[in-house]
A and B are shown apart, each in its own frame.
Chain A
C-alpha cells in the first residue's frame, strides 16, 4: 500500500476543542465496506442455520432407581398435517401425555414403539412418558442403552456412579446431587451402580458392618480398643457429612478389629494348654444349649405358609421352554421371572419374587400383570397374598 495513502493529517486543535482527522484512504475503505458487510451477513446467516438445525428438538431421559426411565421429547411438527407419528423409546409405555406448544392436550394412540398424535394445527409437540425398557440390570450394575437420532441428556439417579460408558459425553454437571450428562446422537450405553462409595447409605453400611464385626469379636472375649477408637472416628466423620472418609475409617476399624483378634488368638493359643477342664466343659454345655435353642427357634419360625405347602389340585407345572417357544418376544427380565417360578415348582408368592429380584412392590406387580396379560401366569389370592402360577401351555394357546 502506498505510503501517502496511509498518511494521516492531524490539523490544529480548533477553539471548540474538536480534533480534525483526515484519512486519505477513505475512498478505498468505502469500496471495501460492502464486502465486509456481506461477510458479516454470511456469518450471521451461518449461525441462524446452526440454530435452526440444532434447536427444535429436545430429548431428555430421567432415570430412576427402580429402573424406570422418564422420557421427555419435544419436536417441531408440520402444522398443516392433521397428525404426526412420534417414535417412542421402548415398547412398554406408561403415562403418555402429549401437549402442544400452548400446553393443550393432544389425543394420541400408541402402537408398540410409535404413537400417532393428532396435532391438528400444532407446530410443536411435547411428549412425556415412562418406560422400563431402556434399563437392564446385571448383578449390582444397571445399564442404560439408547440409540438416539439427536443429541440428548440423561439424569442419573441419586447416589449413582458411572462404571462404564461407550461414548464421550459432551458435558456433565451435578444438579441436585444427580449427574446430568449431555451425550451425542447415536447408540450409547452407560453402566452405573446405585448406592456406592462416598454416599450416606454406603457409609452407614460400612459402619454397621464394622460395628457388627467388632461386637462379634468382643462377645468372644477379645478386646478391640483400637478398632473401637477408629469406629468412633468413622461415626464422627459421618455426623459431619464426610461420608467417604467415614466409609474408609469404618473399613479400617474392621481391619483393626481383625488384627486385634488375631493377636489375641495367638496369645491365647500359647496359654490354651493351661485352661482348666471345668471351663471347657461349661463352655461346651453352653454352646450345645445355644445351638439347641437356635434350632428350636428356626423350626418355630418355619411355620408360615409356602406355595409348595399349598395343595396342588392336579396342578402340573408347565415347562418354561414351552413358554419361551410360544412367547419368543418375551423380555429377558420376564424370562427370568418365568424361570424362577418354574424352578419353584410353577407357583410362587409375589413377595418371593420381590425378594429374589429385589424389586419394589409396584414394579414387580407391573411385571406380574404384564405376564398375566400375556397369559403366561395367573394370579390367585391365597391367605391375603398373591400367588403367581404359571399357566399351562394349552391354556396359553386358548
Chain B
C-alpha cells in the first residue's frame, strides 16, 4: 500500500512540476510552418523579379528552403525542439536574403502613390479606432463631446481614398487627428477634475484603515508584555510596521484642511516604508 501511495504521489508531483512547462513548450507547430512558407513564397516572388540574381541569394534561398522542408518533416514527427530550431534557422536565412534584396533595390514595385494610399488607409483605421475608444471613455465618464464631425470626416476620408483622391483624404485625416487631440485634451481635463474627488475618498478610506490598524496594534501591545515603542514621532520617518498614531492625527488634520496632496504624500511614504 505504501509503495502504491508513493507511486501515486510521485505521479501527481510530476504533473504539478511539468504541467506549466508542457503548456508553454508546446507551440502550435502549424503556425511556424505557415510563417516560414509565407516568407519563402514571398521571397521566391521577389527573387523572380530580379534580372540577374546574385549567386549568394540563390544559395541562401536554397538553404532557407531546405530548412523550411526540414521544419515540415520535424512537424510531421512532432519533434518540437527540432521544429523550433529549423524555423529560426529558416527565418534567419530569409531575413538575410531580404536584406540583400533591399540593398539591390531591385524589387521596388510599390509606387509612391500606392504606398501613400496604403499608409493613409491604415492611418484612417487607426484614428477611427482611437475615436471609438475615446467615445466609449467619454460616455463612461459622462464627458459630453459631439463626435458627429469626427465620424463625418472619417467617412469622407474613406470615400476620398476609394476615389483615389489622396490629397483630400489626407487633409481630412489631419482634421480628424486634430479632433482626436481636442477630445483627448478634454478627457485629460475631466480626469484631473475627477481626480481631486477620488483623492479625497482614497485619503479618507486610508485614514480609516490606518486608524483601525493603529488601534489594533495598541490593543495587542497592551495585552502582551509592554515594550518600548519604536514608532517614529514624525510621519516621514517610520521605524516599525506599526502605524504611528501621530501620523493618523496628521493625516486627519491635512484632510480637514483640504491638503489632500500632502496627505497622499504621507500615505505614499508610509506604503513605501512598509515595502
- The number of A-B residue pairs with CB atoms under 8 Å apart is 220
Interface residues of A in 24-56 (CB under 8 A from B): 28, 31-32, 35-36, 39, 42-43, 46-47, 50
A363 to B190, CA, bound (A): 28
Does B231 interact with chain A (Cβ within 8 Å)? no
Which stretch (A13-21, A103-111, A271-279, A308-316) binds chain B? A103-111
- B174–A362 touching, CB < 8 Å: yes
- B108–A43 touching, CB < 8 Å: no
Does B258 interact with chain A (Cβ within 8 Å)? no
- B115–A358 touching, CB < 8 Å: yes
Contacts of A47 in B (CB 8 A): 19
Closest A-chain residue to B90, C-beta based?
A165
Which stretch (B35-43, B238-246, B247-255) binds chain A? B35-43
Does A196 interact with chain B (Cβ within 8 Å)? yes
Interface size in chain B (residues, C-beta < 8 A): 88
A302 to B3, CA, bound (A): 94
- A191–B87 touching, CB < 8 Å: no
Closest A-chain residue to B39, C-beta based?
A163
Does A97 interact with chain B (Cβ within 8 Å)? yes
- A172–B28 touching, CB < 8 Å: yes
A197 to B38, CA, bound (A): 9
Contacts of B15 in A (CB 8 A): 43, 46
- B39–A162 touching, CB < 8 Å: yes
Which stretch (A62-70, A335-343, A370-378) binds chain B? A62-70
Contact A46/B187 with A97-B134, A161-B42, A362-B174 known, Cβ cut-off 8 Å = no
Closest A-chain residue to B26, C-beta based?
A170
A128 to B135, CA, bound (A): 14
| Interface residue from A158, A164, A202, A358 paired with B94 (Cβ < 8 Å) | A164
Does B16 interact with chain A (Cβ within 8 Å)? yes
- A139–B105 touching, CB < 8 Å: yes
- A28–B264 touching, CB < 8 Å: no
Contacts of B136 in A (CB 8 A): 103
A28 to B2, CA, bound (A): 12
Contacts of A334 in B (CB 8 A): none
Does A295 interact with chain B (Cβ within 8 Å)? no
For A108-152 the 0/1 string (1 means CB < 8 A from B) is: 100000000010110000001010000000111100000000000
Closest B-chain residue to A53, C-beta based?
B20
Does A169 interact with chain B (Cβ within 8 Å)? yes
- B137–A103 touching, CB < 8 Å: yes
Contacts of A6 in B (CB 8 A): none
Does A224 interact with chain B (Cβ within 8 Å)? no
Contacts of A46 in B (CB 8 A): 15-16, 19
Contacts of A42 in B (CB 8 A): 12, 16
Contacts of B271 in A (CB 8 A): 78, 80-82
Does A194 interact with chain B (Cβ within 8 Å)? yes
| Interface residue from A35, A161, A168 paired with B32 (Cβ < 8 Å) | A168
Contacts of B45 in A (CB 8 A): 196-197, 247
Which stretch (B146-154, B198-206, B216-224) binds chain A? B198-206
Interface residues of B in 33-57 (CB under 8 A from A): 34-35, 38-39, 41-43, 45, 48-49
- B16–A103 touching, CB < 8 Å: no
Does B112 interact with chain A (Cβ within 8 Å)? yes
Interface residues of B in 101-136 (CB under 8 A from A): 101-103, 105, 107-112, 114-116, 118-123, 125-126, 129-130, 133-134, 136
Nearest CB on B from A118, distance (A): 6
Most chain B CB inside 10 Å of its own CB: which residue of A36, A97, A105, A205: A105
Does B230 interact with chain A (Cβ within 8 Å)? no
Contacts of B27 in A (CB 8 A): 168-171
For A172-191 the 0/1 string (1 means CB < 8 A from B) is: 11000000010010000001
Residues of B within 8 A of A (CB): 1, 5, 8-9, 12, 15-16, 19-20, 23-24, 27-28, 31-32, 34-35, 38-39, 41-43, 45, 48-49, 84, 87-88, 91-92, 94-95, 98-99, 101-103, 105, 107-112, 114-116, 118-123, 125-126, 129-130, 133-134, 136-137, 140-141, 170-171, 173-174, 177, 180, 184, 187-188, 190-192, 194-195, 198-199, 201-202, 205-206, 209, 264, 267-268, 271
Known pairs A32-B5, A195-B110; list 6 more (Cβ under 8 Å). Answer: A43-B12, A66-B120, A97-B133, A105-B141, A169-B27, A193-B98
Closest 8 CB pairs of A and B: A164-B95, A139-B102, A65-B122, A172-B31, A105-B191, A103-B140, A120-B202, A361-B170
12 pairs, A vs B, C-beta closer than 8 Å? A66-B123, A139-B105, A163-B39, A168-B84, A169-B27, A169-B32, A191-B98, A197-B42, A355-B112, A358-B115, A360-B116, A360-B170
Residues of A within 8 A of B (CB): 28, 31-32, 35-36, 39, 42-43, 46-47, 50, 64-66, 68, 70, 78, 80-83, 95, 97, 99, 103-108, 118, 120-121, 128, 130, 138-141, 157-159, 161-173, 181, 184, 191, 193-198, 201-202, 205-206, 209, 247, 251, 354-355, 358-363, 365
